[in-house]
Amino acid sequence: MDSLINSENIDDGEILDESVEYQFDLTFYGADYPVDGLVKRLGNQDIVVPSFDPGHDLAIDVEAFQRKFVWSKIQCDRFVESLLLGFPVPGIFLVQQNNKRLLVLDGQQRLLTLAAFYSGILNKKEFSLEHVQSEFVGLTYKTLDEENRRTLDDAIIHATVIRKTKNAQDLASVYSLFERLNSGGTQLSPHEIRVALAPGPLMYLVRDLNSTPSWRSVFGKPSKTLKDQELILRFLAMRFSLGTYKSPMKDFLTKYAQFNSDLSRQSEEIIRHAFISAIDLIVAEIGKKAFRLQRAFNVAVFESVMVGVATRLAEGRDFLPGQLKEIYENLVKNSSYLAAVGKATAREDQVSVRMKLAAEAFLA
């Protein structure tokens, strides 16, 4: 498959149907939770629904960010009604974190609906039932009669709990499972999954760097799928962990996010300087069209040029006026380089070629 240009006009150049064999170092067990117990655990943050929108009233925000609440009022009402009628409902999937908290991999909307109904507020409005059979219309949790309240409180939702084994060294198998579970409805992007699985100071820093004016000028509007934040992480992973690169790219980025989640490997100061100094200089010298071979933003050009420039600056070597632009223009005319940024860009040989050529150009 040739390079992909998505709706945000970004040329990934990656193979989408890439097949990867995983060693699933996971164990599973089932647990039945009464609804009132789930709501209580959500309130205590023993079960975490990560939110990509920390200001969202319904999101239970702990360390990660996940997509906004997306269910319609009809979906919310009918889910609550199903529980009141004693109907079975789909189970949820939870992953046990190192601190024993349970992160919701599948079932976010159901749990947020329950939290909203018990609190009495949905999207900043009173949560009273509307799209339900007549006996429940207009009711809130507080106005349910005792029988219906007990029915709802005691309703059982089955959970499958996933735990990494002691031999599991990274999040790759959990990430793959998350992708499989997230196969329908409003799908999460690769970086949304990554943020949920590898929360911490690094992800907050990446989100902060995403507002850098020069970066915004060259990338464009903020990405709804966090692609812009993923690209910053990709630069950091290539800059500081290139020697460990192994395809697929999504796993490489997740491993780096996990590796430096607490900024103990590369500090905030080092990361800020690496990204901001490089992107500021590139945009100043090349302009807003940097990283675009044609119209689309080319991810492989971005990562290789950024790493080359950042590495030179880290060595204390400045560029003469016009020098950076001249090097860049010569590089993107190099046929070997163009082949390495055109397609199958996540392959080890392609990564090696373009990073080597960019390093030779900018570090000469």
The three-state (H, E, C) secondary structure of 105-134, written as one string: EECHHHHHHHHHHHHCEECCEECCCCCCCH
Q: Scanning the structure block, which residue is given the tokens 């029988």?
A: 147
d(CA 242, CA 253): 11
72 and 196 housed in the same domain: no
- Does residue 171 fall inside a structural domain? no
- Based on the fold, state whether residues 212 and 345 are members of the same structural domain: yes
What phi, psi does 298 have (nearest 5°)?
-95, 115
Same domain, 146 and 240: no
Alpha-carbon torsion 279, 280, 282, 286, what sign?
positive
Crossing angle of helices 35-43 and 146-154, rounded to 10°: 70
Last residue in a domain, options 164, 199, 217: 164
Using CA atoms, how far apart are residues 105 and 108, in angstroms rounded to an integer? 7
The pLDDT, as a whole number, for residue 100 is 86
Same domain, 226 and 351: yes
**Is the model's pTM score more than 0.85?**
no
Range of the domain at 301: 10-18+184-363
Could you tell me if residue 175 is inside a domain?
no
Tell me, yes or no, whether 272 and 230 share the same domain.
yes
Q: 84 and 226: one domain?
A: no
Domain for residue 179, yes or no? no
Sequence letter at residue 121: I
Does a structural domain hold residue 169?
no
Cβ contact 355:336 at 8 Å: no
Give yes or no: residues 235 and 160 share one domain. Answer: no
In a domain, 191, yes or no: yes
190 and 99 within one domain: no
Q: Which helix (H) or strand (E) holds 27?
A: strand 26-34
The pLDDT value given to residue 108? 85
Query: What letters, b where the CB count within 10 A reaches 16 and e where it falls short, cover 316-330?
Result: eeebeeeebbebbee
Radius of gyration for the alpha carbons in the chain, expressed in angstroms and rounded: 24
Is residue 265 in a domain? yes
Both 143 and 276 in one domain: the answer is no
Q: Look up residue 274 and give its amino acid.
A: A
**Final residue belonging to a domain, choices 164, 192, 218:** 164
Instruction: Name the domain boundary from 129, 164, 199.
Output: 164
pLDDT at 63: 34
Q: How far is CA 60 from the centre of its chain?
A: 17
User: What region, left, alpha or beta, does residue 291 occupy, with left being phi > 0 and alpha being psi -120 to 50 degrees?
Assistant: left
Q: What is the mean pLDDT of each run of 10 residues along the chain (364 residues)?
A: 56 61 74 97 88 40 45 95 96 86 86 94 93 97 97 97 67 71 63 78 93 97 91 98 94 91 96 98 96 94 98 97 97 97 95 98 95
Together in a domain, 190 and 158 = no
Same domain as 147, residue 46? yes
Total domains present in the chain: 2
Cα–Cα dist 53/19, whole Å: 32
Residue type, 140: T
266 inside domain: yes
- 266 and 341, same structural domain? yes
